[in-house]
């Protein structure tokens, strides 16, 4: 049986293996520093569809198809999929699940969706609920921008502390056998330090990452230096700096082993200011760059801490601040499994 250690962390006994991933991204993402790690990209961000919302779904579809091809699995081999997206009613996920006819557990955690899905899937699988499970999320700049902020045609000036919603989808398939395994999970508490500016998501989300990371370090009696990489979701440059500041006060120093998927996704010439965001951001960086490093054993112990700003335009307009959440997934190459 799995067991809880400390306040928020669960240690998994039967640890699911990441058996394959797939991701498909937009052109801007493909020309960023992570470009060479992605499975594919398109310079047409509509992928032939007549709306950005319908296009987003096609990114999801391609990510799944790549992951299925790499793992030589068929949709009917998958017990169920867990996923969500940042469009209202998770339309990309729902219509994708309809088209693939895989049972769906829809989750909403905004940009924390990849961590949330991996944590849930591995928690369930560790108890025998599912042998092969697909985790999926993604986002689309143009669909997100018009839902959460302004229509693109409005041509508003972007704040220097803003981030850029990643266009792309990432898919992670969990199973058994050799490979990097999910060893511990921790579900975060919704944290709200009072930020109400919907352009400043890094500042809003950093306290949520701090909440769950600190709990995880205490629960597991570890420190940041115990990990080869600690990757937050999409705090961006500013949010990452805030997270460092928050943790250092408790004596936890995030060093060279710390990275943020959002901050790593674009280079400074791409004018995304603080970096990438969106549910797709950590999904595409984890399913490409980080998974490759795990598979090649360049890293053997990492934390993925995707962070979500659970922001609603309606409640924001009604004067509410932005509640945020983050979930921790510990992934390891276990020594006993290394053959040679």
Whether the Cβ atoms of residue 306 and residue 115 lie closer than 8 Å to each other: yes
Q: Output phi, psi for 234, to 5 deg.
A: -155, 60
Pairing of strands 164-165, 168-175: unpaired
- The residue from 3, 221, 249, 335 that contacts a second copy (CB under 8 A) is 3
Binding mask 194-223 for a second copy (x = CB under 8 A): ------------------------------
For the packed helices 236-248 and 201-220, what is the interaxial angle rounded to 10 degrees? 40
Binding mask 251-280 for a second copy (x = CB under 8 A): ------------------------------
- Indicate the residue among 51 and 159 with the shorter CB distance to a second copy: 51
74 binds a second copy (CB under 8 A): no
Which of helix, strand or coil describes residue 303?
A: strand
14 binds a second copy (CB under 8 A): yes
Strand partners, 17: 175, 181
Single out the segment in contact with a second copy by CB under 8 A; choices: 38-46, 59-67, 116-124, 261-269.
116-124
For the packed helices 141-148 and 52-71, what is the interaxial angle rounded to 10 degrees? 140
DSSP code string of 193-220: -S---TT-HHHHHHHHHHHHHHHHHHHH
Structure tokens at 99: 């088209």
- The residue from 129, 152, 248, 338 that contacts a second copy (CB under 8 A) is 129
**Closest distance of CB 83 from a second copy, Å:** 10
Query: Which of 33, 36, 34, 104 is CA-nearest to residue 64?
Result: 104
79 binds a second copy (CB under 8 A): yes
Q: Where are the alpha helices (DSSP H) in 152-265?
A: 201-220, 236-248, 261-265
Whether the Cβ atoms of residue 113 and residue 85 lie closer than 8 Å to each other: yes
Q: Of 15-54, which residues contact a second copy (CB under 8 A)?
A: 50-51, 53-54
- Indicate the residue among 124 and 332 with the shorter CB distance to a second copy: 124
- The residue from 191, 264, 274, 333 that contacts a second copy (CB under 8 A) is 191
189 binds a second copy (CB under 8 A): yes
> Which residues contact a second copy by CB under 8 A?
1-4, 8, 10, 13-14, 50-51, 53-54, 79-80, 84, 87-91, 94-95, 97-98, 101-110, 116, 120, 123-124, 126-131, 147, 185-192, 310-315, 318, 320, 323, 325
């Amino acid at each position: 049986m799995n067991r809880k250690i400390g306040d928020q962390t669960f240690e998994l006994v039967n640890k699911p293996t990441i058996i394959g991933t797939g991701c498909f991204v937009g052109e801007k993402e493909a020309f960023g520093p992570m470009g060479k790690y992605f499975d594919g990209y398109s310079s047409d961000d509509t992928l032939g569809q007549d709306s950005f919302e319908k296009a987003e779904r096609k990114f999801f579809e391609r990510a799944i198809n790549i992951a299925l091809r790499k793992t030589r699995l068929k949709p009917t081999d998958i017990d169920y999929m867990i996923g969500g997206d940042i469009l209202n009613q998770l339309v990309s996920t729902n219509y994708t699940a309809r088209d693939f006819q895989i049972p769906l557990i829809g989750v909403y955690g905004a940009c924390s969706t990849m961590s949330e899905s991996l944590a849930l899937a591995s928690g369930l699988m560790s108890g025998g609920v599912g042998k092969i499970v697909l985790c999926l999320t993604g986002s689309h700049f143009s669909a997100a921008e018009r839902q959460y902020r302004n229509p693109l045609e409005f041509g508003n000036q972007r704040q220097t502390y803003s981030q850029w919603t990643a266009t792309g989808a990432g898919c992670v398939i969990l199973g058994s056998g050799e490979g990097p395994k999910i060893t511990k999970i921790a579900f975060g508490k919704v944290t709200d330090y009072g930020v109400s500016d919907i352009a400043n998501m890094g500042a809003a989300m950093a306290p949520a990452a701090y909440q769950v990371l600190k709990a995880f370090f205490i629960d597991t009696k570890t420190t940041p230096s115990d990990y080869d990489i600690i990757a937050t979701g999409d705090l961006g440059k500013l949010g990452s700096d805030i997270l460092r500041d928050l943790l250092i006060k408790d004596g936890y120093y995030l060093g060279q082993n710390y990275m943020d998927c959002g901050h790593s996704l674009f280079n400074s010439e791409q004018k995304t200011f603080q970096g990438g965001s969106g549910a797709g951001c950590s999904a595409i960086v984890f399913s490409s760059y980080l998974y490759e490093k795990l598979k090649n054993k360049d890293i053997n112990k990492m934390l993925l801490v995707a962070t979500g700003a659970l922001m609603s335009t309606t409640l924001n307009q009604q004067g509410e601040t932005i509640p945020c959440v983050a979930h921790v997934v510990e992934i390891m190459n276990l020594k006993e499994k290394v053959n040679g």
